[in-house]
Structure 1
Amino acid sequence: METELNFRFAVREDTPLILQMIRELADYEKLLDEVVATEPVLEEWLFDRQKAEVLFVLTPEGKEAGFALFFHNFSTFLGRAGIYLEDLYVRPEYRGRGYGKGLIRRLAALAVERGCGRLEWWCLDWNQPSIDFYLSLGAEPMSDWTVYRIAGKTLTDLAAEPKA
């Protein structure tokens, strides 16, 4: 029997905890040196500009076991929004207890409640434990697509190019 999980949306006062979990996730992904987010930046973008949401999954004692950071994207083909899961993280001591699956299920329920057409995310190619987990949920890899990114100096240089 699966234990009923409790969730709560993050509030402004959770900003230090959100950043701490982001750093823990980045350390696991061997990308800690890429984290440049700060508490003021997260607070501005999450709570002032409301560009993303954070959902915590709680232990029976009410402690935050993990989080999902997500935002809405849009599918022109479906003609409706979707939910894009930017980060899913469960602290190591809570893994294997259903917290990750609970977060995904709650996000799926949010997508349905909000009338969204899909729930999607990226996963690092080397992260086999996560890939196996996602496949066990029925997720399908999008092998026909390649992710492209423009960031940093390339982004600012491109933005500064003369208008055509």
Structure 2
Amino acid sequence: MSNSELIFRTAQREDVGLVLTFIKGLAEYEKMANEVVATEALLTEWLFDKKAAEVIIGEYKGEAVGFALFFHNFSTFLGKAGIYLEDLYVLPEYRGKRFGKAFIEHLAQLTVERGCGRLEWCCLDWNQPSIDFYLALGAEQMSDWTTYRLTGQKLQDVATSKGLK
């Protein structure tokens, strides 16, 4: 596979079903399929109406082989935006062909073109093949930081001050 054989395009509204299929495939790989509540309607609203994130689809010989979903974040220390890669997924039958590397290269180029200060993402700690891949790219593991999350009822409780003690 040469990079010229893999093309990237920005997802359009008519791709929402494909994007959801990729999301479900990623969730299954991550052993989190039961957590997917996204629907085509929700994705359309948040990706295309509210433009909260962007999606790039990779195509090889006319076939969609994977996707990357990302959005801008901001570094107060750098004083400029960055790109946060939320999801990167390549179909199982296309893994090991350097498509993942091509996605990261494309996103790095986009990050530089937009004048952003960094490209970052998270990886599940059990996903050693991906960790090895990212380290081989020269990515730095941010071991000093821990991600925290509020969702569901706990988010609602904090939003209404019920969760604060």
* TM-score category (smaller protein): over 0.9
Off by >3 Å, runs of 4+ in structure 1: none
Distance across 2 between alignment mates of 1:101 and 1:131? 13
1:134 aligns with 2:134: yes
Secondary structure in 1 aligned to 2:26?
helix
1:110 aligns with 2:88: no
Task: Indicate the residue corresponding to 1:46 in structure 2.
Answer: 47
Distance across 1 between alignment mates of 2:45 and 2:103? 24
Distance across 2 between alignment mates of 1:161 and 1:48? 30
Task: Indicate the residue corresponding to 1:57 in structure 2.
Answer: 58
Matches within 5 A, 1:113-124: 113-124=113-124
TM-score, scaled relative to structure 2: 0.95
1:12 aligns with 2:6: no
Shift of 1:62: 1.5
Deviation string, structure 1 residues 71-121 (Cα, Å, up to 9, x no partner): 000000000000000000000000111111010000000000000000000
Matches within 5 A, 1:22-101: 22-59=23-60, 61-101=61-101
Secondary structure in 2 aligned to 1:112?
helix
Shift of 1:132: 0.6
Secondary structure in 2 aligned to 1:46?
helix
Equivalent pair of 1:74/1:81 in contact (CA under 8 Å)? yes
Distance across 2 between alignment mates of 1:34 and 1:98? 29
Aligned-residue CA RMSD in angstroms? Answer: 1.4
Q: How many residues align?
A: 162
Task: Indicate the residue corresponding to 1:158 in structure 2.
Answer: 158
TM-score, scaled relative to structure 1: 0.96
What percentage of aligned pairs have identical amino acids?
Answer: 65
Equivalent pair of 2:52/2:71 in contact (CA under 8 Å)? yes
Structure 1: gaps of 5 or more residues:
none
Secondary structure in 2 aligned to 1:81?
strand
Equivalent pair of 1:57/1:102 in contact (CA under 8 Å)? no
Deviation string, structure 1 residues 131-153 (Cα, Å, up to 9, x no partner): 01111111010000111111111
Shift of 1:40: 0.2
- Corresponding letter in the other structure for 1:140: E
Shift of 1:160: 1.1
Distance across 2 between alignment mates of 1:58 and 1:42? 21
Secondary structure in 2 aligned to 1:148?
coil
Equivalent pair of 2:71/2:83 in contact (CA under 8 Å)? yes
